[in-house]
């Protein structure tokens, strides 16, 4: 988090010793350590929350893509079904017309005999 060298830490320690005094320095150092630990924990939790949210967003994008693919497949299947139904009706009409023509021809030839 914070980059500091040994010399910088030594200078901070000397200034703190002079300003705070030797009797209160351990207490203040402990409080500072606890504050740093809380700050690090807060940052870690925030980072985890952000990563979780990003994963959730990625999952939403993936789900939306899959839903779009499913819609496209459904449309393709519906088009195929519609075409098959049209062809089946056409074949049925052709068969009915053929049967009517054949039946009519049979009646006509039966009447002539």
Residue 15: closest CA among 28, 2, 3: 28
CA 83, CA 78: separation in Å to the nearest integer? Answer: 9
Which pLDDT tens digit goes with each residue over 19-31? 888 898 889 889 9
Please check whether residue 15 is in contact with residue 29, taking contact to mean a CB–CB distance below 8 angstroms.
no
Residue with more model confidence, 83 or 6 = 83
Contacts of 16 (CB under 8 A, 6+ apart): 25, 28, 29
Residue 84: closest CA among 92, 96, 94, 73: 92
Alpha-carbon distance values, 77 to 12, 70, 72 (Å): 73, 10, 9
Which pLDDT tens digit goes with each residue over 39-97? 999 999 999 999 999 899 999 999 999 999 999 999 999 999 999 999 999 999 999 88
Predicted model pTM: 0.48
Residue with more model confidence, 5 or 107 = 5
**Which H or E run includes 91?**
helix 25-112
Extents of the domains making up the chain = 6-112
């Amino acid at each position: 988090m914070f980059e500091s060298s040994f010399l910088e830490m030594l200078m901070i320690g000397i200034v703190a010793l002079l300003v705070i005094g030797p009797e209160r320095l351990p207490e203040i150092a402990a409080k500072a350590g606890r504050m740093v630990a809380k700050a690090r924990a807060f940052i870690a939790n925030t980072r985890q929350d952000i990563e979780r949210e990003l994963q959730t967003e990625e999952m939403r994008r993936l789900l939306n893509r899959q839903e779009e693919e499913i819609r496209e497949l459904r449309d393709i299947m519906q088009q195929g079904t519609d075409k098959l139904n049209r062809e089946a009706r056409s074949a049925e009409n052709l068969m009915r017309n053929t049967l009517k023509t054949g039946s009519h021809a049979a009646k006509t030839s039966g009447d002539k005999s």
